Amino acid sequence: VAAAQKSQKDAEQGKTDTEAKRQKQEQDFQARWTEHESKQTELLKAKKDAEDKATRLESLIAKIAGGGQLLSANRLKDFTAKEAAEDRLDLVYAELRDRAKVIDEQNRILSSLRVADRDLQETVLAATPKDDRIDGFDGRVISVDERERSVLVSASSTRGIRPGMILHVFSPDDERPQAGDRKGVVEVTSIEGPSLLRATIRRDSNRSPILAGDGVATSLWTAGTAPEVVIVGWVNLDEAGDNDRERLVDLVKRAGGRVVDSVTPMTAMVVDGGKPPAERGEEGFAEEARRQSRNLKTAEQFGVRVVGVDALLDMLGLSRSALTSNGLPRAATR
């Protein structure tokens, strides 16, 4: 009996062990199957991502291939000869860089034009087709002084505006009026602040006078543009005979300009102060003299306009006598 009981117990234990082993194998299988499904999902996602990238790459290559029509004739020949998209893209970038240089040169010419005489400005503005609409107002008239024949104008920024600049006045009814619908012309006389300028009325009509709220616009200036100016030589603004370079730098900055050390194709003008007064001699001026000579030569190469101090002061609506009489603060000496 004991042997039979032991045999039965061993059989039951074996059955239990077999069931436990089976359950463990099933659990292991489920775990491996779950891991397999997870990896399969990841692989399918990676495959789809790769296919999407390949599709986008093909589309990009096709777009790059279509860029040949935008290239110059000489560069188009090289573009056609290239097969690799990256080589073709390099040619497109080279074309863009060349065009950027052309735009920089055109901006330099326009910058020079902005300080040209008023008749030339009028000629350029008058050349705008009468049926063209302006892009939008550059500012608004906020007050009119009939006695002084002047207006105060509010602009988003006066940076880049200089005395002598011509602005056309339009009725505020239309934000983009026809260029030929201007009701008057004003000339900037002074910069009153970061967003205010004063201008004298050059042309208006009794039938349609310039009023507060009227819009002003010009094609010769874009808000926020700062003309680049290089100042060389010995700058003397008053009878004292001292070097007033820092005072002139301050005046240029107040008018919205930016003073830099060296001439580039983007330079609007070079202001040449000349040599020190004879009584002061040229001691200590040697380094500045070399800088002066170097920048004047570069200005000649680039076709940058060179003016004297008096000419610049006139552009800023100032004079030596005004600087002497109104006691503008001097820059601190270092």
Q: Would you list the domain boundaries of the chain?
A: 71-114, 133-217, 228-325
- What pLDDT shows up at residue 92? 86
194 contacts 157 by C-beta, under 8 angstroms: yes
Mean pLDDT along residues 47-72: 85
The whole model's pTM is what?
0.40
Mean pLDDT along residues 218-226: 58
Could you please report the per-residue DSSP string of 29-84?
HHHHHHHHHHHHHHHHHHHHHHHHHHHHHHHHHHHHHHGGGGS-HHHHHHHHH--S
Where does residue 85 rank: exposed (0-12), middle (13-18), buried (19+ CB within 10 A)?
middle
- What pLDDT shows up at residue 225? 60
Could you give the CA distance from residue 70 to residue 83 in angstroms, rounded to a whole number?
17
* Range 228-325 classified under CATH 3.40.47.10: no
The count of other CB atoms within 10 Å of the CB of residue 236 is: 20
Q: Give the CB-side neighbour count of residue 212, counting CA atoms within 13 A.
A: 6
pLDDT band at 215 (very low <50, low <70, confident <90, very high): very high
Residue 179 is classified by DSSP as G
Mean pLDDT along residues 10-17: 83
* Between 135 and 17, residue with greater pLDDT: 17
218 contacts 228 by C-beta, under 8 angstroms: no
* Between 86 and 242, residue with greater pLDDT: 86
Q: Is the pLDDT of residue 109 over 60?
A: no
Could you give the CA distance from residue 252 to residue 182 in angstroms, rounded to a whole number?
31
pLDDT-wise least confident of 27-36, 55-64, 214-223, 260-269: 214-223
- What pLDDT shows up at residue 129? 47
Could you give the CA distance from residue 232 to residue 113 in angstroms, rounded to a whole number?
22
Q: Is the pLDDT of residue 89 over 90?
A: no
Could you give the CA distance from residue 67 to residue 313 in angstroms, rounded to a whole number?
48
* CATH architecture designation of domain 133-217: Beta Barrel (2.40)
* Between 101 and 195, residue with greater pLDDT: 195
Give SS3 for 190: strand
153 contacts 141 by C-beta, under 8 angstroms: yes
